[in-house]
Amino acid sequence: MPKTPSANGRQVFSYFQESRALWRLTGIIERIETSMEEEIARLNEVNYEFSDIFYFCRKGFEAIVDDAVTQRFSSEELLSWNLLTRTNVNFRYISLRLTIVWVIGVVVRYCFLLPLRITLAAIGISSMIVGTTLVGQLPNSSVKNYLSELVHLTCSRILVRALSGTIHYHNKENRPKKGGICVANHTSPIDAIILTNDGCYAMVGQVHGGLMGVIQRATVKACPHVWFERSEIKDRHLVTKRLREHVADKSKLPILIFPEGTCINNTSVMMFKKGSFEIGGTIYPVAIKYDPQFGDAFWNSSKYNIVSYLLRIMTSWAIVCNVWYLPPMVREEDEDAVHFANRVRSAIARQGGLTELPWDGGLKRAKVKDTFREEQQKNYSRMLVRNGSIGSLSAGTESD
């Protein structure tokens, strides 16, 4: 494994080769696992053959039909229908009985469950705002910390009930401790509520307007969350400095960070940004896996805004998920941040049963960097000029 940060392109490429096997099993086409060298084997001594393009051609078409990355930015397809129209991608009418069951399901969800959930959510949010504002008036003391924890936990639990959440926590002995950093895979904004259901964390995030902003301002009085202004987020050193100060204070709550940077659809873990791993301190990885049969927790932010997303969540059957607390990890002596991030990511992926992808979650919105294409071109050039056969070009075609 290359240790220099500049070898990122090669790392990605080799990861790409290695991790293909896992997700290929669920693809729709059969992918042949040969490397470039095997495919472009030489029939005779000529350097370049017209058939060399076949390899790239086929790879290109395979990517068009079924690729690993773009499918992560839309909801997972289910093997069997769970009576929600939203998961019924290829609509087929099956039978009258099933349609009647579905209609009953719609009535139950929209007329019975939805009002109850909205009421609970309203109670939860208002008690959180009121509670944290009251606690925030107290002077800093252990009583204040205790009360703030109590308020946060209670309101979190109300909010989880509002979503009909059933959460199973595993390995509670590994729960993040004070002064540490908790990292988890990101599927939806609900992840934060799911984790705070079982412990208190200091959140990190951007300051929003509206209701979110009110909640943020109220909670930061009671508990030292780290909210950044939009302008401050761009300044990476400032962000790292503030986080470092927070971590250095061992009496402060563990920070909760989602290093992927964006919501992924819970079938895989994409590249972790190295920023969170440069801060230092102990990392407590957490794996979160939702059960898709009961409801789809993934937030496709390009398709739905937050309000319609919450509406869809509240009209699903339930949110069922498993949370695994993994043993703490520290960065080793000669390990760089990228390598450490990959190590943590592998541990999370293995525990949650998710596939690992070396691709950046930012590809949801941004174009891929040219360095990866250059890597492929370099590999091919190396093949073309191997055996020093370029030197024999001037010697004529004696091999024929």
Which residues contact other proteins by CB under 8 A?
A: 27-30, 39, 43, 46-71, 74, 89-93, 359, 363, 367-368, 372-378, 380-382, 384-385, 390, 393-394, 397, 400
Cβ closest to other proteins, residue 53 vs residue 107: 53
Cβ closest to other proteins, residue 186 vs residue 364: 364
The CB-of-40 to other proteins minimum distance in angstroms stands at 10
Q: Is 306 helix (H, G, I), strand (E, B) or coil?
A: helix
The CB-of-272 to other proteins minimum distance in angstroms stands at 17
The CB-of-378 to other proteins minimum distance in angstroms stands at 5
Cβ closest to other proteins, residue 56 vs residue 169: 56
Q: Is 324 helix (H, G, I), strand (E, B) or coil?
A: strand
The CB-of-301 to other proteins minimum distance in angstroms stands at 14
The CB-of-316 to other proteins minimum distance in angstroms stands at 22
Cβ closest to other proteins, residue 59 vs residue 312: 59
Cβ closest to other proteins, residue 29 vs residue 108: 29
Contacts of 265 (CB under 8 A, 6+ apart): 71, 72, 73, 74, 75, 76, 187, 298, 300
Cβ closest to other proteins, residue 43 vs residue 307: 43
The CB-of-372 to other proteins minimum distance in angstroms stands at 4
Give CA–CA dist 332/340, Å, rounded: 8
Give CA–CA dist 39/31, Å, rounded: 13
The CB-of-243 to other proteins minimum distance in angstroms stands at 30
Q: φ and ψ at 378, to 5 degrees?
A: -65, -45
The CB-of-37 to other proteins minimum distance in angstroms stands at 15
DSSP for 367-381, written as a single string: PPPHHHHHHHHHHHH
Cβ closest to other proteins, residue 126 vs residue 377: 377
Task: Name the amino acid, one letter, at 355.
Answer: T
Q: Is 317 helix (H, G, I), strand (E, B) or coil?
A: coil
Give CA–CA dist 352/266, Å, rounded: 9
Cβ closest to other proteins, residue 32 vs residue 238: 32
Task: Tell the residue number behind the tokens 């790409």, with chain if given.
Answer: 16
Tokens of 122: 């309203």
Cβ closest to other proteins, residue 92 vs residue 230: 92
In order of 159, 306, 311, the CA distances from 166 in angstroms are 12, 22, 18
Task: Tell the residue number behind the tokens 């990292």, with chain if given.
Answer: 183
Give CA–CA dist 399/328, Å, rounded: 61
Give CA–CA dist 345/287, Å, rounded: 9
Q: Which residues pair with 355 in a beta bridge?
A: 268
Give CA–CA dist 155/129, Å, rounded: 9
Task: Tell the residue number behind the tokens 């290093």, with chain if given.
Answer: 259
Cβ closest to other proteins, residue 264 vs residue 363: 363
The CB-of-199 to other proteins minimum distance in angstroms stands at 36
The CB-of-17 to other proteins minimum distance in angstroms stands at 12
If residue 227 lies in a helix (H) or strand (E), which one and from where to where? strand 226-228
Task: Tell the residue number behind the tokens 């990190």, with chain if given.
Answer: 204
